[in-house]
A = this chain, B = another copy of it.
């Protein structure tokens, strides 16, 4: 027996905990139906304004949606936050069941 799955896109955004509320508001406005937030910590290059290294309270936000919506969110976040906040985003293909949930 082979499971019937459908493809969706997993968007993962790792960024500063300080802007969590802003990001969740943006997700809702962009039409995202659900999200998961995990507390994290990390280190990496900052945006343009601050080239120094910082270790900080981070969050990891995960969204599963269509490829098109994931790209919309990514472009929106890039325009709003990439220059001023430490933010790393990436896309992955995932397989889901129960596509009515996404």
Say how far A58's CB is from chain B's closest CB, in angstroms. 6
Residue of B nearest to A42 (CB): B36
Which residues of A, 1-16, contact B by the 8 Å Cβ criterion? 1-3, 5, 8, 10, 12, 14
Complex CA distance for A2 and B58, rounded to whole angstroms: 29
26 pairs of residues in contact across A and B, judged by CB atoms under 8 Å = A1-B71, A2-B71, A3-B71, A3-B74, A3-B75, A8-B90, A14-B36, A24-B43, A33-B45, A34-B43, A34-B88, A36-B40, A36-B41, A36-B42, A36-B88, A37-B40, A37-B42, A38-B60, A39-B39, A88-B96, A88-B101, A90-B95, A90-B96, A91-B94, A91-B95, A92-B93
